[in-house]
Amino acid sequence: EAGVAQSPRYKIIEKRQSVAFWCNPISGHATLYWYQQILGQGPKLLIQFQNNGVVDDSQLPKDRFSAERLKGVDSTLKIQPAKLEDSAVYLCASSLGWSSGELFFGEGSRLTVL
Amino acid sequence: DQQVKQNSPSLSVQEGRISILNCDYTNSMFDYFLWYKKYPAEGPTFLISISSIKDKNEDGRFTVFLNKSAKHLSLHIVPSQPGDSAVYFCAASSFNNNAGNMLTFGGGTRLMVKP
């Protein structure tokens, strides 16, 4: 069974530029999550999708971050414009359903903002 | 306000000995607890979990203990192996009618098992 796929693995941009990350969850997983992990900290939930609908985006900085999951499968997370403090690993995870506590994570996309 | 805390950023243990990783939480609504393991340049992988109706769950070398009155859980690894060297994240979950199970992670503990 293929795992959660993410790209790109690494991205370096300058502040005020934009960046987009892509995630393809495990086949059949209805719930998709984007987490931000700053160095030395635990993952922090940014947004959670159930199929193609948003169920929680309370911690997403909506002035600069956006995410979509148009067909209920893969998803993109965009940052525009980026700030220095956005430097982090962006982790995508999926689960069978929203009642499942076990998440399956991708390898992450490491963003460095200069 | 950190609802899940791992107060030890790192832990060093000799191979064959026991590793004990600790986690404290503040939200009494949490009812499901998980441990994830993370190797460098990889995403976290699920290790073991425990429901709030239990106080112990064992899976091979890994045992998780839950003390609800103290809002404390711990992960025991016996015997520790060099391959266990990784960052371990504690996570707690509460069910939300709108969003289902929502995980809150601790800051992680880096375990180093020395040969």
pLDDT digits (tens, 9 = 90+) for A29-62: 989 999 999 998 999 999 999 888 998 898 999 9
Burial of A52 (0-12, 13-18, 19+ CB in 10 A): middle
The answer to whether B66 touches B52, Cβ cutoff 8 Å, is yes
For residue A79, what pLDDT band results from cuts at 50, 70 and 90?
Answer: very high
- pLDDT surpasses 70 at A4: yes
Low-confidence ranges of chain B (pLDDT < 50): none
Geometric angle at alpha carbon B91, from B102 and A48, rounded to 5°: 30
Contact with chain A for residue B83, Cβ under 8 A: no
Question: A108 in the Ramachandran plot: left (φ > 0), alpha (ψ -120 to 50) or beta?
Answer: left
| Mean pLDDT to the nearest integer, A1-15 | 93
- pLDDT surpasses 80 at A99: no
- pLDDT surpasses 70 at A65: yes
Interface test with B, best of A31, A37, A46 (most B CBs within 10 A): A37
Among B91, B101, B107, the residue with its CB nearest the CB of A98 is B101
The whole-number pLDDT of residue B103 equals 87
- Distance between CA atoms of A9 and A40, rounded to whole angstroms? 19
The whole-number pLDDT of residue A22 equals 97
Residue-averaged pLDDT of chain A: 92
- A4's tokens: 């959660």
The whole-number pLDDT of residue A40 equals 87
Residues in B touching A51 (Cβ below 8 Å)? none
In angstroms, the Cα distances linking A7 to A78, A89, A100, A113, B43 are 12, 12, 25, 17, 13
